[in-house]
Chain A
Amino acid sequence: MSTPSTLTMPEAITAETPMSLKEQLARAERLKKLKYGALILPLVLFLVLTFIWPIAALLKRSIDNPEIVSAFPATSELLRQWDGKNAPPDAVFAAFADEIVQHKGSPVFAAAAKRLNMELPGFRSLMMKTARALPPTAGASAREALVEADPRWEEPATWQYLARNASPYTARYLLASVDRKYDDAGNVVQADADEAIYVNVFARTFGMSAIVTAFCLLLGFPLAYLMATQPPRIANVLMIFVVLPFWTSILVRVAAWLVLLQSEGLVNKALMLFGLIDQPLELVFNSTGVYIAMVHILLPFMILPLYSVMKGISPSYVRAAVSLGCPPIRSFWKVYFPLALPGVGAGCLLVFILCMGYYITPALLGSPKEQMASYFVAFYTNQTINWGMAAALSAILFAATLVLYIVYTKLVGGQDMAARAR
């Protein structure tokens, strides 16, 4: 492909200005690059706008802290110079009262109150109460009016909450995602035990992914091996068994597992019929159900890469080892397995990466104890509308995915990923 196509074209040879062959070549090469680059460009632009930019914006949100600064810009400015020990100077009170009057009843004010309530429950009503008491009655100073509205405005601690959020960026959400927080003195400390779950959630996300991956490998390896060692006709039939579930909607499969695993479902009925159990087992809305369904959904992603690698391994290697006196199991382990290792690596990484981001299956088949990182992202987005927290958790999940994806592309080369997934 290295020969530029234009060389065969007559107009390139009869160029008007005499050019060296080298120049012509370079020019033709540039032209080709431009031409084909233009083919790639629309997709690049499309993905930048619809995929990369939104994700970048989301990641940025994890450090954004706009509420206080945009509702109280002047107060924020002044609070940044405050020593933080004694009650702030009158100027701060005046600016704050001014800005409350200016914004009260508006969404900007409500957003700031909500943001402060996040720091200290009860701050919302303090703000609403204060807003109702303003503007100061004639003759009263801003300080008097605020303290009159609520004595807490006299305490430096109250102002600390404002001061600590008087900058447009904060690490609070990211810290909270790893169970850390700022204490009243502004130091990073361990979060309270009743709020500290995210380290646990991420450990759970990775742990569950690892278990699902292990099961997929355990179940997928024999089948892939069988397929690879059968004549094409049989292998094709087996392939249909693998690919049909792969093509079936995830929701269909989740519904089917629900039907199979419920307390009156087929699995329990069969087990009871054979006298293996007397009482129906609890198989759904706990980890059992989630694992079964996840392994089922992700198994084809393990089998397909394994198969594509195994198909290329000649059975004569193992046969040779056996004929040279090496026991079959040992020959398999020493000769075949190392050759299949790229497939194992690719399959495991693919399953692990996909598993980490799962949301639907645990949401429908699990209890709160089986929910992975994605669930918490959705929770903060929809339920409490804490988009900073959703963004911070996303950032960590995204970083983990990115690292594994880089390893994966190094392993298999990004290009033929889906080709393998076929």
Chain B
Amino acid sequence: MTRTTTAVRPIAAACAALCLVAGTASADVTVISFGGTNQKAQEKAFYQPYTKTTGGKIVAGEYNGEQAKIKAMVEAKNVTWDVVEVESPELARGCEEGLYEKLDMGKIGPKADFVPAALSECGIGIFVWSTVLAYNGDTLKNAPASWNDFWDLKKFPGKRGMRKGAKFTLEFALLADGVKPEDVYKTLGTKAGADRAFKKLDQIKSNIQWWEAGAQPPQLLAAGDVVMSTAYNGRIATAQKEGKNLKIVWTNNIYDFDSWGIPVGTPNKEEAYKFIAFASKPENQKVFAGEIPYGPTNVKGTALVDKAIVPQLPTAPQNMKGALASNTQFWVEHGEDLEQRFNAWAAK
């Protein structure tokens, strides 16, 4: 027994030391975002300048939008994430469930500076992003023009990439089935409408290559694994910058905000606010849009954006035409149910 304790004691001490190290490290701001090029752009536009101007360090982490970790952290009152990039339905749901702080806009910036839709109770929009139809200009000679073409296996034989999840996949299915953009959510809200979307998806199911991370579609397209794919517009743009001949079809794209949220109970709330305020400044949002073409939420930031980039932004007027705004309320309501059904459907 004695030798067990003597053997364990140094370990316990070392562990305690480690925990201490981890504890002091959290005085920096931990910012969690969706990874890949999006995170790299944030690094350049937000993290590095933040460190340079304020001296505060940023611990950058990434996730795929799952809220389980945040929920567990908040419930445990052991919050190690200070600022999180969240999609709108998750933010709204998390706000209701008490996962995210109700934001005090006074600590961030004048309300009037922001696109009204970017402001919500618990979050402030970082940027507008869009899910578009993308294809490889080298492999596909005649260009697809709509979601209808996406479903057309005769004219465009081959695999298609889609995000593994109900959100947006079902909307695109209905759009391809001839539902008008303004009726999509009304239709999807009914049992018959959801059935219709899944039935439409059945048509191309065996030709779908599912992806989970935003970095995947450009790769799948470039490698020729798929002929077209749903994709985040920013990721396609970065691939274009790297010299890949990938093209975007803006017709009936779906756009949404990603927002900053602060998990309830973070010990670094003040620093979190400081970071959000910093990242929401027009000049920093401008740098971000230059790195990856997502539309700024700060109106003044929009004005600063390089003219050459504007046509690539989801917020450009020609791209907004026929675009569909993701319906947050709908996904708060039906998200769990439809995601579950989608998962069951995909696994069959």
A interface residue numbers (CB < 8 A to B) = 38-39, 42, 105-107, 110-111, 113-114, 117-118, 121-122, 124-125, 128, 194-197, 200-201, 262-264, 285, 367-369, 371, 376, 379, 381-386
Q: Which 10 A-B pairs have the closest CB atoms?
A: A107-B98, A110-B97, A368-B346, A382-B66, A121-B337, A197-B344, A382-B68, A110-B96, A38-B1, A368-B347
B1-42 interface bits toward A, Cβ cutoff 8 Å, 1 = contact, 0 = none: 100100010000000000000000000000000000000000
Whether A384 contacts B164 by the Cβ 8 Å rule is no
Q: Known contacts A194-B341, A194-B344, A379-B343; can you find 12 more A-B pairs with CB under 8 A?
A: A107-B98, A117-B333, A117-B337, A122-B333, A125-B333, A263-B225, A264-B223, A367-B209, A371-B347, A381-B68, A385-B67, A386-B340
**Bound Cα distance from A381 to B343, whole angstroms:** 14
Decide: A42 near B96, CB < 8 A? Known: A117-B336, A201-B347, A371-B347.
no
**Bound Cα distance from A125 to B69, whole angstroms:** 24
Grouping DSSP codes into helix (H, G, I), strand (E, B) and loop, the A interface class, with mixed when no group exceeds half, is helix
From A108, which residue of chain B is reached at the shortest CB distance?
B98
Grouping DSSP codes into helix (H, G, I), strand (E, B) and loop, the B interface class, with mixed when no group exceeds half, is helix
**Bound Cα distance from A104 to B111, whole angstroms:** 27
Decide: A110 near B68, CB < 8 A? Known: A118-B336, A121-B334, A194-B344.
no
Whether A200 contacts B97 by the Cβ 8 Å rule is no
Say yes or no for B52: interface residue by CB 8 A criterion: no
B interface residue numbers (CB < 8 A to A) = 1, 4, 8, 66-69, 71, 75, 93, 96-99, 164, 195, 198, 209-210, 223-225, 329, 332-334, 336-337, 339-341, 343-348
- The smallest beta-carbon distance between A52 and chain B, in angstroms, is 20
Contacting residues, chain A, for B75 (C-beta < 8 A): 107
Whether A367 contacts B98 by the Cβ 8 Å rule is no
Contacting residues, chain A, for B71 (C-beta < 8 A): 385
Contacting residues, chain A, for B68 (C-beta < 8 A): 381-383, 385
Partner of A113, one of B96, B164, B209, B334: B96
Contacting residues, chain A, for B164 (C-beta < 8 A): 368
- The smallest beta-carbon distance between B333 and chain A, in angstroms, is 5
Whether A106 contacts B341 by the Cβ 8 Å rule is no
**Bound Cα distance from A369 to B345, whole angstroms:** 10
Partner of A110, one of B1, B98, B339: B98
Decide: A195 near B209, CB < 8 A? Known: A368-B164, A385-B67, A385-B68.
no
- The smallest beta-carbon distance between A111 and chain B, in angstroms, is 7
From A111, which residue of chain B is reached at the shortest CB distance?
B97
Whether B98 contacts A124 by the Cβ 8 Å rule is no
Partner of A106, one of B4, B98, B339: B98
**Bound Cα distance from A264 to B97, whole angstroms:** 47
Whether B347 contacts A384 by the Cβ 8 Å rule is no
Partner of A383, one of B1, B198, B339, B347: B339
Whether B336 contacts A195 by the Cβ 8 Å rule is no
- The smallest beta-carbon distance between B213 and chain A, in angstroms, is 12
Contacting residues, chain B, for A124 (C-beta < 8 A): 332-333
Whether A197 contacts B333 by the Cβ 8 Å rule is no
Contacting residues, chain A, for B93 (C-beta < 8 A): 114
- A-B contacts, 27 listed (Cβ < 8 Å): A42-B4, A105-B98, A106-B98, A107-B97, A107-B99, A110-B97, A113-B96, A114-B97, A117-B337, A121-B333, A121-B334, A125-B329, A195-B341, A262-B223, A263-B223, A263-B225, A264-B223, A285-B209, A368-B346, A369-B347, A376-B343, A379-B343, A382-B66, A383-B68, A383-B339, A383-B343, A386-B336
From A367, which residue of chain B is reached at the shortest CB distance?
B210
- The smallest beta-carbon distance between A67 and chain B, in angstroms, is 11
- The smallest beta-carbon distance between B198 and chain A, in angstroms, is 7
